[in-house]
Amino acid sequence: MRHSVLRTWSADSAFGGRCRRPDLRNFHRVPIKAISNIASPFTRQQGEQAVSFERVIDGLEIDSLASLGFHGPDDIRGLMASEGVRNAALVTVPIGSTLAVSLDGDGGQLSVLAPPDIPSNVKKAIEVVAGLIRETPNHQLLILAVLLLWARKYGSTAWREYCEGLLPPAREMSCLLCYTPGELSTLQLPHFVDEAARQHDWARWAHSQWLSSSSGALRRLGLADALEDSVWALAVVRSRAVEFQMGMAVGSGSGSGFKAGHDSGPEPVRLGRGRRLPTGPVVSVLAPVVDLANHNNDPNCVIQLTTDKSRIVLLPRRPIRPGEPLTVDYGFDRSSLELMADYGFVTSANPYDGEVELPEADKLPSLELSRLEAAARALRRRYHPAAMTPRRQGLSEAAAAAEKEEDGRSSGGGKGNGGGGEERDVADEALATEEEEHEGVAVEEEDEVVISETAADTGAGDGSDFTSRLRAAVALLSPRTAPFPGAPANSGNFSTPATQRIIAGLWHKLIRHCIESLPTSLEQDRALLEDIIGGRVLGFAAGPSLSLDPGAMQGPTSAFEHPPRPQPPVGGSTPPVSSKPGAAQLRMTSERKAVGAVQGETVLAAATAAAGARDGVSGSGKGDDSENEVQGTDTRRRAGSATTNSVAAPPKLTHQGSRGPQDDSSDVEAVTAASAVEPHAVVGSSGGNGSEARSRHGERTADVICRTGRRAGRLYAAVRARVEHKEVLAVAEQLLVQYARN
Ligand SMILES: C[S@@+](CC[C@H](N)C(=O)[O-])C[C@H]1O[C@@H](n2cnc3c(N)ncnc32)[C@H](O)[C@@H]1O
In DSSP notation, 155-219 reads S-HHHHHIIIIISPPGGG--SGGG--HHHHHHH--HHHHHHHHHHHHHHHHHIIIIIBTTTSTTG
Ligand 1 centroid distance, CA of 471 (Å)? 20
Ligand 1 center to 710 CA (angstroms): 11
pTM of the model: 0.55
Domain 1-351+519-742 has CATH 3.90.1410.10: yes
Ligand 1 centroid to Cα of residue 502, in Å, is: 16
Q: What does the pLDDT average to over 522-526?
A: 59
Nearest ligand 1 atom to alpha carbon 174: 25
Which one of 329-333, 654-658, 695-699 scores highest in mean pLDDT?
Answer: 329-333
Decide: 354 and 498 in contact? Cβ < 8 Å: no
128: phi then psi, degrees, rounded to nearest 5: -65, -45
User: Region 480-504: what's the mean pLDDT?
Assistant: 49
Stated length of the chain: 742
Tell which atom from ligand 1 comes closest to the C-alpha of 639: 27
Higher pLDDT, 506 or 263: 506
pLDDT range class, residue 494, cuts 50, 70, 90:
very low
Domain ranges (residues) in the chain: 1-351+519-742, 359-495
Protein residue closest via CA to atom 5 of ligand 1: 292
Instruction: Give the residue, 190 or 13, on which the prediction is more confident.
Output: 190
34 confidence band (pLDDT: 50, 70, 90): very low
Q: What is the pLDDT of residue 667?
A: 39
Question: How far is the centre of ligand 1, averaged over its atoms, from the C-alpha of 310 (Å)?
Answer: 26
What is the whole-number distance in angstroms between the Cα of residue 294 and the centre of ligand 1? 5
Residue 57, pLDDT score? 59
Q: Rounded distance, CA 24 to CA 292, Å? A: 13
* CA–CA dist 454, 520 (Å, integer): 32
Per the rule left: phi > 0, alpha: psi between -120 and 50, beta: everything else, 309 is left
369: left (phi over 0), alpha (psi -120 to 50) or beta: alpha
Mean pLDDT of 539-553: 26
C-alpha 198/C-alpha 641 separation (Å) is 14
Distance CA 392, CA 467 (A): 18
- Burial readout 404-422 (b: 16 or more C-beta within 10 A, e: otherwise): eebbebbeeeebeeeebbb
Residue 631 has pLDDT above 80, yes or no: no
Per-chain mean pLDDT for the chain: 54
Q: Is a pLDDT exceeding 50 seen at residue 488? A: no
Q: What is the mean pLDDT of residues 225-231?
A: 96
Q: Does the pLDDT value for residue 333 go beyond 70?
A: yes
Q: Determine which residue's CA is closest to atom 1 belonging to ligand 1.
A: 240
At residue 638, does pLDDT exceed 70?
A: no
CA of residue 327 to ligand 1 center, whole Å = 10
In contact, 220 and 672? CB cutoff 8 Å: yes
For range 692-718, the mean pLDDT: 36
Residue owning the nearest CA to atom 19 of ligand 1: 295
Give the single-character DSSP code of 70.
E
Ligand 1 probe mutation, 291, 295, 303, 469, most atoms within 8 A of CB: 295
How far does the centroid of ligand 1 lie from the alpha carbon of residue 696, in Å? 25
Ligand 1 pocket mutation pick from 345, 638, 704, 708 by most atoms within 8 angstroms of CB: 345
In this predicted model, which residue has the larger pLDDT, 353 or 693? Answer: 353
pLDDT category, 137, cuts 50, 70, 90? Answer: confident
Residue 266, number of CB atoms within 10 A of its CB? 17
Q: Which atom of ligand 1 is nearest to the CA of 240?
A: 1
| Among the ranges given (257-261, 384-388, 528-532), the one the predictor scored with the smallest mean pLDDT | 257-261
Q: Which of 2-6, 176-180, 212-216, 394-398 has the lowest mean pLDDT?
A: 2-6
Tens digit of pLDDT for each residue in 36-83?
A: 222 222 222 333 343 344 445 567 788 888 887 777 765 677 888 888
* pLDDT level of residue 227 (50, 70, 90 thresholds): very high
Residue 609 burial (C-beta neighbours within 10 Å; 0-12, 13-18, 19+): middle
pLDDT above 80 for 193:
yes
ipTM: 1.00
Provide the pLDDT confidence category of residue 127 given band limits of 50, 70 and 90.
very high
What atom in ligand 1 is closest to the CA of residue 342? Answer: 27
CB contact at 8 A, 638 and 241: yes
Q: By three-state DSSP, how is residue 717 classified?
A: helix
Atom number of ligand 1 nearest to Cα 295: 16
Question: Which protein residues touch ligand 1 with a CB less than 6 Å away?
Answer: 74, 76-78, 168, 174-175, 239-240, 291-292, 294-295, 343-345, 347, 708
pLDDT at 117 over 80: yes
Percent of the chain residues past pLDDT 90, beyond the cut: 18
Strand ranges for 200-286 from DSSP E: 242-248, 282-286
Query: What is the pLDDT at residue 534?
Result: 56
Q: What is the pLDDT of residue 733?
A: 56
Question: 666 with 207: CB under 8 angstroms?
Answer: no
Residue nearest to atom 25 of ligand 1 (CA): 174
* Nearest CA owner, ligand 1 atom 14: 294
Phi/psi for 656 (5° steps) reads -75, 155
| Gap from CA of 292 to ligand 1 centroid (Å) | 7
Q: How close is the Cα of 283 to the center of ligand 1, in Å?
A: 21
Give the sheet arrangement for strand 632-637, strand by strand: 110-114, 99-103, 282-286, 242-248, 632-637
Distance 232 CA to ligand 1 centre (A): 15
Q: Which residues contact 370 (CB under 8 A, 6 or more apart)?
A: 396, 398, 399, 401, 402
| Residue 68 DSSP one-character state | E
Tell me if residue 153 falls in helix, strand or coil.
helix
Ligand 1: centre distance to CA 103 (Å): 26
Q: Which atom of ligand 1 is nearest to the CA of 293?
A: 3
